[in-house]
Chains A and B, each alone.
Chain A
Amino acid sequence: MNDNAKKLEQCFCAALGLTPEMVTDDLAYNSIKQWDSVGHMTLMSEIETVFDIMLDTDDIINLSTVAKARQTLIKYGVDF
């Protein structure tokens, strides 16, 4: 796991109150109570802050799994 992957994992942990073991590629929006719509906005804000980007609304809507979060960040120039 490179630094950016670790940072992304930490975003999920910090925003949703998860442990690192819970942050798997297939963890999905609304699959756990912490990742509801309010948690999603907190998560987006955390990702934007950590990676110093501003996500498009369409990307926020489509960012529905950990794997998709990584794919989205690649679009913004983040290496994994």
Chain B
Amino acid sequence: MLKGKVALITGASRGIGRAIARTFAANHATLHLCARGEATTRLAEELALEFGIQATAHLGDVRDADFIKAMLLQCKRAHGRLDVVVNNAGIIQQGLLGMIPMDQARATIEVNIVALINITQIAVRLMGPNASIINLASIAGTRGMEGTAAYSASKGGVVAFTLACAKELAKKNIRVNAIAPGFIDTDMTRGLTPEWYQKRVDSIGMGRIGKPEDIAGTALFLASDLSSYVTGQIIGVDGGMVS
């Protein structure tokens, strides 16, 4: 479904990013995988071997503007273009209002929204008609989530950024959409306290926590030409999460 497309995925080494990378590889995309850990290199090698695709790892922090520029220049030199960008890198830190350290709040905004804006601004210069930008928002950003006010604010920013970009880029036929995952089984959510974890699971209509692959399927749809007339949408993938 993605044969001939060049895709960049941030936060690709684990969780949702890793599942998206695997799904895109299975659908024959050429991949650029960005994350901080060495696991990214191993993932790129594994996917290249298993699916016979070209996969390149870029190790660095999405907040590092020079790293982002160098990575996208490498994409440009290798392919002359980018067809899909998945802005997935993100952090979550718990903290009830009044108990959120400001350095934590700043880091959340820096990673989840400022870095995303920077990547998108540069990446869009490599994108032509039928390209697709997929931002990972969150149900916290569309409805708010108790105990994660800073994270919710950052993801609300992702939602608004997605809607604005979709309007600006529609005339270039570049699509911009967001996925708003509910409660998904990743290292990030496993870091929550047991009480919060159970509370979240109890709020899911389908009665189970989501899998990273549940998100990857929606990302595949948004990356592929199946969604060629879909832009400016925030797609909830949450199993019927009610609160």
Q: Check A45 for interface membership: any CB of B closer than 8 A.
A: yes
A52 touches B122 (CB 8 A): no
B76 touches A54 (CB 8 A): yes
B77 touches A52 (CB 8 A): yes
A44 touches B171 (CB 8 A): no
Q: With both chains docked as a complex, state the minimum distance between the C-beta of B66 and any C-beta of chain A, in angstroms.
A: 9
Interface of A is mostly: helix
Q: Check B69 for interface membership: any CB of A closer than 8 A.
A: yes
**Which of chain A's residues has its CB closest to B124's CB?**
A41
B125 touches A45 (CB 8 A): yes
Q: Check B118 for interface membership: any CB of A closer than 8 A.
A: yes
Q: Knowing A48-B76, A54-B73, A57-B118, say if A41 contacts B125 (CB, 8 Å).
A: yes
B172 touches A57 (CB 8 A): no
B76 touches A57 (CB 8 A): no
Which residues of chain B are within 8 angstroms of A1 by Cβ–Cβ distance?
A: none
Which residues of chain B are within 8 angstroms of A44 by Cβ–Cβ distance?
A: 125
Which residues of chain A are within 8 angstroms of B80 by Cβ–Cβ distance?
A: 49
- Count of chain B residues with a beta carbon within 8 Å of a chain A beta carbon: 16
A57 touches B122 (CB 8 A): yes
B residues 77-135 near A (Cβ < 8 Å) are 77, 80, 118, 121-122, 124-126
Distance A66 CA – B125 CA, assembled complex (angstroms): 20
- Count of chain A residues with a beta carbon within 8 Å of a chain B beta carbon: 11
**Most chain B CB neighbours (cut-off 10 Å) among A38, A44, A57:** A57
**Which of chain A's residues has its CB closest to B168's CB?**
A37
Which residues of chain B are within 8 angstroms of A56 by Cβ–Cβ distance?
A: 65, 69
**Which of chain A's residues has its CB closest to B74's CB?**
A54
Distance A49 CA – B79 CA, assembled complex (angstroms): 12
8 contacts between A and B (CB under 8 A): A48-B125, A54-B69, A54-B70, A54-B72, A54-B73, A57-B118, A57-B121, A57-B122
Which residues of chain B are within 8 angstroms of A52 by Cβ–Cβ distance?
A: 77
Which residues of chain B are within 8 angstroms of A53 by Cβ–Cβ distance?
A: 73
B76 touches A38 (CB 8 A): no
Which residues of chain A are within 8 angstroms of B69 by Cβ–Cβ distance?
A: 54, 56
Which residues of chain B are within 8 angstroms of A57 by Cβ–Cβ distance?
A: 118, 121-122
Contact with B along A3-47 (1 / 0, CB 8 A): 000000000000000000000000000000000001001001100
Q: A54-B76, A57-B118 are in contact. List 20 more A-B contacts (CB 8 A).
A: A38-B171, A38-B172, A41-B124, A44-B125, A45-B125, A45-B126, A48-B76, A48-B125, A49-B76, A49-B80, A52-B77, A53-B73, A54-B69, A54-B70, A54-B73, A54-B122, A56-B65, A56-B69, A57-B121, A57-B122
B residues 164-214 near A (Cβ < 8 Å) are 171-172
**Which of chain B's residues has its CB closest to A45's CB?**
B125
Which residues of chain A are within 8 angstroms of B73 by Cβ–Cβ distance?
A: 53-54
Which residues of chain B are within 8 angstroms of A48 by Cβ–Cβ distance?
A: 76, 125
Q: With both chains docked as a complex, state the minimum distance between the C-beta of A62 and any C-beta of chain B, in angstroms.
A: 15
Contact with A along B121-153 (1 / 0, CB 8 A): 110111000000000000000000000000000
